[in-house]
């Protein structure tokens, strides 16, 4: 493999949100994987910039919370083609409740809600390909005050 091709692959990996890139050709295999520390520092950067934006008109706007894909595959919002979606906008879900599933190599894996929340928006359509860590749903966490409203 020549340096130019390797440089192109590195540039490609840097311009995507992919966590891992594997390139294989004629017995040569190259793999790039983002380190967890790199993700943490890049995610921390906007939080560090927040104090500088204190004079902005909407300082109370929180970061959106999302439910992310746990693997690469095809995302399904329902258990089967003839069934309605497991959740729709406005659905209140509990931590650990299935909100969809991802299929890879004929194996289905449930996507579970990590917290008690309300589904605000579905970010991926049924049957579309997803990557590891890709946001699937925008959610609003339920506080103790909201939990009483739904009882």
Domains, the chain? 3-53 (no CATH), 65-149 (2.40.50.100)
In this predicted model, what pLDDT tens digit does every residue of 95-135 receive, in sequence order? 999 999 999 998 889 999 999 999 999 999 999 999 999 99
pLDDT above 80: residue 144 = no
Q: What is the pLDDT of residue 134?
A: 93
75 confidence band (pLDDT: 50, 70, 90)? very high
Handedness of CA 49, 50, 51, 56 (dihedral sign): positive
Q: Which residues are CB-neighbours of 4 under 8 A, at least 6 positions away?
A: none
* 86-94: average pLDDT: 91
Provide the pLDDT for residue 82. Answer: 84
pTM above 0.85, yes or no: no
Please give the structure tokens belonging to residue 83.
């069934």
> Hunting for tokens 């890139």 — which residue is that?
21
Share of the chain above pLDDT 90, in %: 36
CA angle 21, 102, 136 (to 5 degrees): 80
pLDDT surpasses 60 at 150: no
pLDDT at 39 over 70: no
Residue 24 confidence (pLDDT): 72
Confidence of residue 142 (pLDDT cuts 50, 70, 90): confident
pLDDT score recorded for residue 16: 65
Handedness of CA 85, 126, 114, 47 (dihedral sign): negative
Instruction: Please name the residue that has the structure tokens 């540039």.
Output: 11
The pLDDT, as a whole number, for residue 139 is: 92
73-76: strand order across its sheet: 107-112, 98-104, 73-76, 129-130
């Amino acid at each position: 493999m020549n340096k130019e091709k390797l440089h192109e692959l590195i540039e490609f990996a840097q311009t995507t949100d992919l966590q891992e890139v594997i390139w294989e050709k004629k017995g040569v295999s190259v793999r790039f994987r983002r380190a967890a520390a790199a993700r943490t520092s890049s995610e921390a950067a906007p939080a560090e910039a927040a104090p500088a934006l204190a004079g902005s008109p909407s300082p109370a706007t929180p970061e959106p919370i999302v439910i992310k894909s746990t693997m690469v595959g095809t995302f399904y919002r329902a258990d089967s083609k003839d069934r309605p979606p497991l959740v729709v906008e406005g659905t209140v879900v509990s931590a650990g409740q299935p909100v969809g599933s991802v299929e890879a190599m004929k194996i289905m894996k449930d996507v579970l809600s990590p917290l008690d929340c309300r589904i605000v928006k579905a970010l991926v359509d049924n049957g579309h390909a997803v990557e590891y860590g890709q946001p699937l749903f925008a959610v609003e966490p339920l506080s103790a005050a909201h939990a009483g409203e739904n009882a």
